[in-house]
């Protein structure tokens, strides 16, 4: 069972690594912001699986922290950049 | 014991499939709005499956409640983020078109 | 088997750290830095430091991310006079050629190499017993808490923590020194977007409750004042972004009280201990648990207020003078 958890975690980590291409490519700032959602959700999944794998339930608190703060970034960008013109790609 | 583990394995594999689908969508879809669509739907479903799988595996009511809340908050945050990002991009496109037209 | 996870995490962390410094565009850097925070948080968990992982997640995902996005707005081409100013400043600077960079570059390389050697040596010499872990755990019953990290931070090395709260306050003072104290002048103008308003209304109590929860479980497990403070600070930032700047809505003296209560309470407590015949920050073991919880709460309030004020003030500066004048 532990081996299976490791495979799942590695798979999810590779998912994050793949998502980095979108950070590189952009082309717009919103595309890059999208990847933070991807990283946040995938990171939470990794934390959940790790919590079962390491038998450490406090990891769920880390997941909740990620969870409640991931939206801050989106609201931050949307509100801070509200009146700004988009950069040219 | 065995049944519990089999259920966990199945749920986690299904969850991983949805995560892969979401990531591929973000990478391959042509524009922001379809990428948003792929990410916020597929990934949250994937997280739901993985959360369910781990709740079954850990099998403690307190942890299961926490995991359920994690998923619920993610659904809320993610769908709102999707809307906010889409609106942001729409406004940006709009102001750009307006500038070029005027 | 789990070494596979560690290898991927290590590669990912180093790659992201390098790329967030070297990426050609600033937006790439910022979002790569966010991914770096995630990789680092996972790495801390693999190292067994869940406390640090929570802090890393909270700081990188929340606070630094928003600060960077705010800074990014100013660095992107806006076609404004600000950019022209920047170019003028850049033109006024003496043009560096490669020759003049050679010497500082070599000095930097030498310094970094030496630092790396010292770091390697230090890592090599880590004692098997984990350093002072045994000493801390032996004194745990006297500390008033059950979690060794909290015991060290709030009791054995309370002096350090007290100074750290001061450092954050100093950061705010630096922001004030650069930008001036305009923070109390922003008008209240709630956002018109119904969904945004609802999500802020929903997440404010959630953040507050979860922060309080983290603060309380710091007694027995990973969690504590700093983690709670970032979550509470996120409330202030969310409200500011939603058009309800906290520091404009409360009286000025209350804001000042919130900012300084952590540092002040810690200090008064320390003097009371001295007056009672103990040394600075030597809690009486009978009441240590309660006192630590109160001190942590005060510290969390102060840090949260300072983080909010730092963001609010920087955001204010970036919005430029026009907006402030027109809304006054």
Is residue A87 a part of any domain in this protein?
Answer: no
Residues C25 and C58 in one domain: yes
Mean pLDDT of C133-158: 76
The answer to whether residue C199 neighbours chain B at the CB level (below 8 Å) is yes
The lowest-confidence range among B97-101, C15-19, C276-280 is B97-101
Q: Does C38 or C285 have the greater pLDDT score? A: C38
What is the rounded distance in angstroms from the CA atom of residue B48 to the CA atom of residue C51?
26
Where is the domain boundary, C64, C96, C126? C126
pLDDT beyond 90 at A35: no
Is residue A66 a part of any domain in this protein?
Answer: yes
Residues C15 and C90 in one domain: no
3-state secondary structure B48-83: HHHHHHHHHHHCCHHHHHHHHHHHHHHHHHHHHHHH
Is residue C7 a part of any domain in this protein?
Answer: yes
- The residues spanned by each domain of chain B are 2-101
What is the rounded distance in angstroms from the CA atom of residue C17 to the CA atom of residue C106?
22
Cβ-based interface (< 8 Å): residues of A facing B: 1, 4, 8, 11-12, 15, 18-19, 21-22, 28, 30-31, 33-35, 37-38, 41-42, 44-45, 48-49, 51-52, 57, 60, 63-64, 67-68, 70-71, 74-75, 77-78, 81-82, 85-86
Q: Residues 6 or more apart from C39 whose CB is under 8 A from it? A: A16, C9, C12, C13, C16
Q: Residues 6 or more apart from C231 whose CB is under 8 A from it? A: A65, A68, A69, C58, C62, C207, C208, C210, C211, C214, C304
Is residue C131 a part of any domain in this protein?
Answer: no
- To the nearest whole number, what is the mean pLDDT of chain C? 80
Is residue C140 a part of any domain in this protein?
Answer: yes
Query: What are the pLDDT digits (tens) for C276-324?
Result: 877 777 777 777 788 888 888 998 999 999 998 888 888 776 665 444 4
Give residue C184's pLDDT: 52
What is the rounded distance in angstroms from the CA atom of residue C299 to the CA atom of residue C266?
8
pLDDT beyond 70 at B100: no
Query: What are the pLDDT digits (tens) for C184-198?
Result: 555 666 677 788 888
Is residue A88 a part of any domain in this protein?
Answer: no
pLDDT beyond 60 at C78: no
Chains with 3 or more CB pairs closer than 8 angstroms to B?
A: A, C
How many domains would you assign to chain A?
A: 1
Is residue A89 a part of any domain in this protein?
Answer: no
Give residue C180's pLDDT: 66
Q: Residues 6 or more apart from C80 whose CB is under 8 A from it? A: none
Length of chain A: 89
**Residues 22-81 (B) with a CB less than 8 A from some CB of A:** 22-23, 26-27, 32, 35-36, 39-40, 43-44, 46-47, 50-51, 54, 57-58, 60, 63, 66-67, 69-70, 73-74, 77-78, 80-81
Which residues of chain C does A12 touch, with a Cβ-Cβ cutoff of 8 Å? Answer: none
pLDDT band of residue A86 (cuts 50, 70, 90) is very low
Prior bond of A38 cis (ω within 30°): no
pLDDT band of residue C92 (cuts 50, 70, 90) is low
Q: Residues 6 or more apart from C281 whose CB is under 8 A from it? A: C155, C158, C159, C162, C266, C269, C270, C273
CB burial readout B30-43, b (16+ within 10 A) else e: eebeebbebbbbbb
Is residue A86 a part of any domain in this protein?
Answer: no
Q: Would you tell me how many other CB atoms lie within 10 Å of the CB of residue C14?
A: 12
Residues C4 and C108 in one domain: no
Owning domain of residue A26: 2-80
Is residue A21 a part of any domain in this protein?
Answer: yes
Give residue C127's pLDDT: 66
The lowest-confidence range among A79-83, C131-135, C319-323 is C319-323
Give the residue among C239, C315, C236, C241 at the shortest CA–CA distance from C71. C315
How many domains would you assign to chain C?
A: 3
Give residue C54's pLDDT: 87
Q: Does C80 or C119 have the greater pLDDT score? A: C119
Q: Do C199 and B87 touch (CB under 8 A)?
A: no
Owning domain of residue C84: 77-126
Whether B40 and B82 have beta carbons less than 8 Å apart is answered as yes
Is residue C232 a part of any domain in this protein?
Answer: yes
Q: Do A62 and C61 touch (CB under 8 A)?
A: no
């Amino acid at each position: 069972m532990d081996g299976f958890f490791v495979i799942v975690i590695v798979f999810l980590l590779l998912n994050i690594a793949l998502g980095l291409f979108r950070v590189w490519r952009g082309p717009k700032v919103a595309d890059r912001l999208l990847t933070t959602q991807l990283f946040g959700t995938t990171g939470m999944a990794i934390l959940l699986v790790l919590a079962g794998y390491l038998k450490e339930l406090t990891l769920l608190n880390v997941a909740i922290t990620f969870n409640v703060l991931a939206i801050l970034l989106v609201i931050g960008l949307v509100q801070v950049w509200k009146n700004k013109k988009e950069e040219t790609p | 014991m065995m049944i519990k583990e089999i259920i966990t394995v199945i749920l986690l594999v299904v969850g991983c499939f949805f995560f892969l689908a979401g990531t591929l969508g973000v990478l391959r879809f042509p524009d922001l709005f379809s990428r948003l669509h792929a990410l916020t739907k597929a990934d949250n479903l994937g997280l739901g499956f993985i959360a369910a799988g781990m709740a079954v595996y850990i099998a403690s009511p307190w942890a299961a409640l926490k995991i359920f809340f994690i998923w619920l908050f993610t659904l809320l945050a993610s769908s709102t983020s999707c809307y906010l990002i889409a609106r942001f991009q729409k406004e940006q496109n709009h102001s750009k078109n307006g500038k070029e037209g005027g | 088997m789990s070494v596979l996870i560690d290898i991927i995490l290590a590669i990912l962390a180093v790659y992201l750290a390098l790329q967030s410094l070297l990426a050609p565009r600033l937006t790439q850097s910022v979002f790569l830095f966010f991914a770096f925070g995630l990789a680092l948080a996972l790495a801390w968990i693999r190292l067994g430091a869940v406390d640090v992982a929570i802090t890393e997640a909270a700081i990188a995902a929340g606070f630094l991310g928003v600060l960077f996005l705010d800074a990014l707005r100013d660095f992107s081409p806006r076609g404004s006079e600000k950019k022209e100013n920047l170019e003028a400043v850049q033109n006024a600077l003496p043009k560096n050629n490669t020759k003049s960079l050679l010497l500082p570059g070599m000095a930097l390389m030498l310094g970094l190499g030496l630092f790396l050697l010292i770091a390697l040596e230090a890592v090599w010499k880590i004692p098997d017993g984990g350093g002072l872990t045994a000493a801390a755990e032996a004194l745990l019953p006297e500390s008033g808490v059950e979690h060794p990290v909290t015991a060290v931070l709030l009791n054995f090395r309370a002096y350090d923590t007290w100074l750290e709260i001061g450092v954050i306050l100093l950061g705010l003072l630096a922001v004030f020194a650069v930008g001036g104290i305009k923070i109390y002048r922003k008008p209240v103008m709630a956002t018109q977007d119904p969904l945004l308003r609802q999500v802020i209304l929903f997440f404010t109590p959630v953040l507050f409750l979860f922060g309080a929860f983290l603060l309380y479980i710091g007694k027995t497990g990973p969690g504590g004042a700093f983690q709670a403070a970032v979550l509470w600070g996120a409330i202030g930032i969310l409200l500011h972004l939603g058009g309800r700047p906290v520091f404009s809505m409360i009286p000025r003296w209350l804001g000042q009280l919130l900012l300084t209560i952590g540092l002040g309470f810690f200090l008064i407590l320390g003097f009371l201990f001295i007056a009672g015949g103990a040394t600075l920050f030597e809690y009486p073991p009978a009441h240590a648990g309660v006192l630590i919880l109160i001190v942590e709460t005060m510290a969390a309030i102060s840090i949260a207020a300072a983080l909010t004020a730092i963001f609010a003030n920087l955001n204010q500066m970036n919005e430029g003078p026009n907006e402030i004048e027109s809304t006054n």
